[in-house]
Amino acid sequence: MPTVLLLSVVLPAICLPAQDLQDYGTPPLTAPFTKLDTLCVNDWWARGPSPIVETRVPREQVIAFGIYTVHAGSLKLTAQLYPLYPRETRTVRLELLRDGEWKEEARAEVHDLGWSALLRVDGWSADQDVPYRLRHGEEALYQGSIRRDPTDSNEITVAALSCNSSRDRGLRPRYVRNILWHDPDLVFFAGDQSYDHREHTAAWLKFGLQFKEVFRDRPCITIPDDHDIGQANLWGESGKVAKLRGSADGGYNHHPDYVRMVERCQTAHLPDPVDPRPVGQGIGVYFTNLRLGGIDFAILEDRKFKSGPAGKIPKQGPRPDHITDPDYDPASIDLEGLVLLGERQHAFLRSWGQAREGVRMKVVLSQTGFCGGAHLHGSRDNRLFADLDSNGWPQSGRNEALRLIQAAGAIHIGGDQHLATVIQHGIDKHRDGPWAFIVPACVNTIYGRWWSPDNDAPGEARDPASALPFTGDYWDGFRNRITMHAYANPDAETNGEGYGLIRLDKRAGEVTFECWPRIVDVSAPDAAQFPGWPISFPIRNR
């Protein structure tokens, strides 16, 4: 299908307000966007008010936000616009302040699907802050700053967030206030920035309104998860078409143009993919790495290649991915041929793990955790013995991924689970694998999860200093070894909502995980994290 949707009519000057742009003919309704993203394509201005975000903004405000990374001498910045009228220019300009003068450095064309444009400047020198501004037409302007690479800082900090549910349509002033107070070097959104399954552009614009102040002046990594691409769960199976409701057979429910649009908006600003070959249906990939301040971040796609369970393993619960039989055999679902990360990402992790020059620490970023880190799902009376949406399954793929992460001397940061946990994985024995921090949900009103072992006994080798009762060595529902160090079950006060802050102390060779409730003002003298945090531990640099 064409990537530009234009009206075959003559419209008045583009400065007219949206309410004056009425019946100017019938726009071409091109599949699949007759049913997808309808608030932001075709005759978007003639539709009723959006329940997600107002798209008919004054034209001087048409640039919604910019989001960027810098890696290996390349600045990549995505300009996100509100929908444009057919006669408006599709060109966005990037200007940088050099020696006291604004100079145009790049131009790019806006995609009519998703309304984003990627601007790139190669040969970037990251030794100083550089103010930037995005321009569209004569009036629209958005400003920010490209940060210098903090190579001389002893500590690099990362704010990590996930699961920005649409059940709360408001802004995020507490998150923005707290994150700006921490002033992290990098922000990571692990997925589910959008929960509006058929209206990603409007929801992505809303996400930008909520969080743009935290990434206006610092690099930001965003990776889409299942809800972003319009599914409740995703087992991508290298891009196949999902046939079953719920997609448990593996693949994608929505048209590949929609999936490509989502990934373009959320990941085009990331460093170039290390292996750019597309998967099925021409869907692209974005797995890559980013270096910042001497820290090497691997960015994975832990759902795109993963096998779906339906039709491959015996069904042992109400759904193909939910096992509720307490007597099931975990070996019965760890079958030959099942894929988690896939060999392309294994090859990437092997190479990435061996690249040490100029690297002080390594961190893996992905959508979800490599174990079953929860017992109760959705409600306190729904106990699952295994949830195949997690990366605890397939177990052989999980163990291979953890061996590669451990061989790199890396830690792991993810989201998705709506339940904050700190776990040290075990592969051949307890505590021989990498540490992982799964950060809490920003908004946790739809589907809570709880760490709740089905007996009152704590795990073996429990930490007596912990404020939490169920820490120590456990087996998850897949018979994977895990050591639980902290968890933040939903409660009446916090509902488990919050964010993670990761401190990487290069001089001491130490990592600290902090977990902050949404309701807390971190600048207050009595500000307290979730019980069980902070957690610090040494990390080796191979």
DSSP notation for 309-343: -TTTS---SSBTTEE--TT--GGGG--TT--SS-H
SS (H, E, C) 107-145: EEECCCCCCEEEEEEECCCCCCCEEEEEEECCCEEEEEE
Global pTM?
Answer: 0.94
Cβ–Cβ under 8 Å, residues 66 and 79: yes
Q: Which has the minimum average pLDDT: 32-46, 221-235, 433-447, 470-484?
A: 32-46
pLDDT at residue number 237: 98
**pLDDT tens digits, 158-176:** 999 999 999 999 999 999 9
CB under 8 Å to 408, separation ≥6 — which residues? 298, 349, 352, 353, 354, 362, 364, 542
User: Parallel, antiparallel, or unpaired: how do β-strands 510-517 and 498-505 relate?
Assistant: antiparallel
pLDDT at residue number 26: 52
Smallest CA-to-CA distance from 286 within 3, 69, 504 is with 69
Share the mean pLDDT of the chain: 93
Q: Helix (H, G, I), strand (E, B), or coil: what is residue 197?
A: coil
User: Parallel, antiparallel, or unpaired: how do β-strands 295-299 and 361-365 relate?
Assistant: parallel
Report the C-alpha gap between 424 and 485 in whole angstroms: 8
Instruction: Give 319's strand partners.
Output: 322
CB under 8 Å to 79, separation ≥6 — which residues? 63, 66, 92, 94, 108, 110, 116, 117, 118, 119, 134, 136, 142
Cα distances from 246 to residues 203, 226, 251, 309, 533, in angstroms, run 21, 11, 10, 11, 36
SS (H, E, C) 396-459: HHHHHHHHHHHHCCEEEEECCCCCEEEEEEECCCCCCCCEEEECCCCCCCCCCEECCCCCCCCC
Confidence check: pLDDT of 13 > 60: no
Smallest CA-to-CA distance from 306 within 351, 339, 279 is with 339
Confidence check: pLDDT of 10 > 90: no
Percent of the chain with pLDDT over 90: 89
User: Binning pLDDT at 50, 70 and 90, where does residue 267 land?
Assistant: very high
Smallest CA-to-CA distance from 517 within 462, 460, 442 is with 442
Confidence check: pLDDT of 32 > 90: no
pLDDT at residue number 446: 85
Q: Which CATH number fits domain 155-538: 1.10.1060.10, 3.60.21.70, 3.40.50.1100, 2.60.40.680?
A: 3.60.21.70
Confidence check: pLDDT of 529 > 70: yes
User: Binning pLDDT at 50, 70 and 90, where does residue 111 land?
Assistant: very high
Instruction: Give 66's strand partners.
Output: 79
How far, rounded to the nearest angstrom, does the alpha carbon of residue 203 sit from its chain's CA centroid?
14
Q: Which has more pLDDT, 265 or 542?
A: 265
**pLDDT tens digits, 189-226:** 999 999 999 999 999 999 999 999 999 999 999 999 99
Type of residue at 56: R
Smallest CA-to-CA distance from 171 within 204, 227, 202, 211 is with 211
Confidence check: pLDDT of 23 > 60: no
